[in-house]
A = this chain, B = another copy of it.
Amino acid sequence: MPGKASKPSIKNEFTAFKTNRIVEVASHLFYERGYSSCTLDHVAERLGVTKPFLYSYFKNKEAILAAICEVGISESLSVLERTLAGEHADHRALLAEVVRQVGRIVIDRQEYVVVYQREMKHLSAKDHERILRLRHSFDHQIAELIREGVEAGEFREDTDSFVAVWIGGLISWIPTWYSPQGQKSAEDVIDQLVDAAMRLAGAE
């Protein structure tokens, strides 16, 4: 089961690897078929194992979903915090960099993000609340960045810090239409995303 800190050993690495593979495959199948319509037998089959195998790594189906949702939001949050902690010329540059980094994560982790958004309601109350807190922290930190930028005179003064929610929406919206097989490359999409976010912030 995930969530336990244990000293590193070859054994724990094996376990972590298998846990990770389960989450990967489950994410892909939940993305394709939806959480409720995807059976654990499907997941096991795709992994070349059987259902009880899954139950020695996760307590139940919902725990797998929780692990997926956690990837969906927590990687974005940690790259946000890492970027905010770094050095930047001004708020404009910082916002652009934050949006670029998070956009990249969201594109890389497309399926996790979509599953997280679509299926969060199937989490237990406890998991649901924990994930929601991460999301709010994300929105809150972007709102703070906007507020400071307006104060510094770098964004249009009539910019409400609520645009943080709109920017979050822009980012979250990508995985519902972007496809790696499409005409637009990931880099194009990210460039356009950054441009759109700067316009919303009134930073041009």
Stretch at the interface among A9-17, A95-103, A196-204: A196-204
Selected from B34, B165, B174, B200, the residue in CB contact (under 8 A) with A199 is B200
* Residue contact B162 to A173, C-beta cutoff 8 Å: no
CB-contact partner of A172 in B37, B163, B173, under 8 A: B173
Determine the main DSSP class of A at the interface with B.
helix
Q: Which 3 A-B pairs have the closest CB atoms?
A: A169-B173, A36-B36, A36-B37
Given contacts A36-B37, A199-B202, contact A170 B165 (CB under 8 A): no
Chain A stretch 65-122: residues in CB contact (< 8 A) with chain B: 117-119, 121-122
Q: Is the CB of B177 within 8 A of A166?
A: no
